[in-house]
Amino acid sequence: MLDTHARKYAQPTIQKTASGLLKVGLTPNQVTITAFIIGTSSGVFVYFGQPVLAIFVLWLSGFLDAVDGSMARLTKPSPFGTVMDVTFDRVVEISVILGVAFLYPEMMWAALLLMASIVVSMTIFLTVGNVSDNNGVKSFRYQAGLAERTEGFIFLTVMISFPSIVLWTTLMFFAVELFTAGQRFWEAKRILS
């Protein structure tokens, strides 16, 4: 939701950063890989009790993830870059969820439910993107929903920041992901029927 409706406010900064990184000779794929490495470290920092650092690298990786897409649109987007981007985004999220789950093993079951809901939601998202016409600036059809990447980062930040409510936050994130999967499923029925 926020990625779809609030992106216009962050886009000038994202665009300026994208242009600057292109000027110094970086490619979109290099920035994707950098965001991936930075982002996956977040889960490690969570596990080792460094929540502030975990949150900082998580959001930095998210910013770079937005920048790499803008860089690609300023140059020549690569299909493999799209594959890397979507795959690495999920690995970053999984690293944080695992970091939290290993830090608080009593809530491992909730983390598994959350990851399952992300798999279902992303399966619908990617399948619809594959079988439908592209209607936007991204390299595939983008289905908006209640839970997009920014909402996920907000939930992950709360999970990292407030251990006393980590179970309830995880379950709420799970419910929001399931709701989003339902939104995407019904939209798919509408546009593909």
CATH number of the domain enclosing 115 = 1.20.120.1760
Mean pLDDT, range 123-130, rounded to an integer: 86
> Rounded to whole angstroms, how far apart are CA atoms 108 and 106?
6
Residue 164 has pLDDT above 60, yes or no: yes
Residue 156 has pLDDT above 80, yes or no: yes
pLDDT > 90 in the chain, percent: 72
Mean pLDDT, range 117-134, rounded to an integer: 86
- How far is residue 188 from each of residues 34, 53, 123, 148, 184, measured CA to CA in Å? 33, 39, 12, 17, 6
Number of domains in the chain: 1
pLDDT given at position 3: 63
Structural domain boundaries, residue 153: 2-192
pLDDT given at position 168: 97
- How far is residue 56 from each of residues 41, 52, 85, 167, measured CA to CA in Å? 10, 6, 20, 22
pLDDT given at position 128: 86
pLDDT given at position 192: 85
Instruction: Report the SS3 class of residue 134.
Output: coil
CA dihedral 88, 93, 99, 100 (to 10 degrees): 180
Mean pLDDT, range 54-79, rounded to an integer: 94
Mean pLDDT, range 157-169, rounded to an integer: 97
Residue-averaged pLDDT of the chain: 91
| Chain segment 135-146, per-residue pLDDT in tens | 655 555 667 778
Instruction: Report the SS3 class of residue 99.
Output: helix
pTM of the model: 0.89
* Confidence tier at 79 by pLDDT (50, 70, 90): confident
Residue 5 has pLDDT above 70, yes or no: no
pLDDT given at position 193: 81
pLDDT given at position 7: 74
Q: Give Cβ neighbours of residue 68 (< 8 Å, ≥ 6 apart).
A: 18, 28, 29, 31, 32, 35, 81, 85
Nearest by Cα to 94 from 135, 146, 58 = 58
pLDDT given at position 137: 56
State the distance between the two ends of the chain, measured CA to CA, in whole angstroms. Answer: 24
